Structure 1
Amino acid sequence: MLTNNPDLLPVIALLGLTSMAAWVITTWLRVKNGYPLQGGWGQSVYPRANDETVERVKLLSQENAQLKAELGSIKDRLANVERIVTDGAHSLDREIEQLRGRTN
């Protein structure tokens, strides 16, 4: 059927080449960005888990925990600053300073 129509042969060839190029580009982007590649049955092909990658994950996890703790302390400090700035006594101090400026 398809072989009898010579006009369809270039279209089919172009479609096949395009799909192969898309697969190559997708695989290249996955490798470049560190995503794991999977084999035909879903097993991980790349990157393989070795001692270096396990150690790297441990270090990144520790750094992540430290950064989370630091962010938590910064949030607490910011909450205290917001409380001080929006405190009613602060506005009262401002009003007193304005009154002092009027009398001088």
Structure 2
Amino acid sequence: MFEAWVLIPLAPFLLAGLAIWTRHQSKMAEKYGHLPKGISEDTDRMREEMQYLKDRVATLEKIATDGRESRLLEDEIEKLRDR
């Protein structure tokens, strides 16, 4: 008959293996985007907000650098450089 006490010396090795496997699974989940549901929703919301802000900054940059005002600004900069 099988004696359970034989498993006691193997317990540290089994626990270490479980810890290594769990850590590996966690790293793979982070790397490939398989995060828990709440974290994933927050991440998606932040990505959408970040894209919105990037688009807005691009629009503001375009407004600041396009048109007649930018030529006037360039002329002012050149006048200051010539001093």
TM-score, normalising length from structure 2? 0.44
Q: Write 1 or 2 for the structure with the bigger share of helix.
A: 2
Q: Write 1 or 2 for the structure with the bigger share of strand.
A: 1
The structure having more radius of gyration, on CA atoms, is: 1
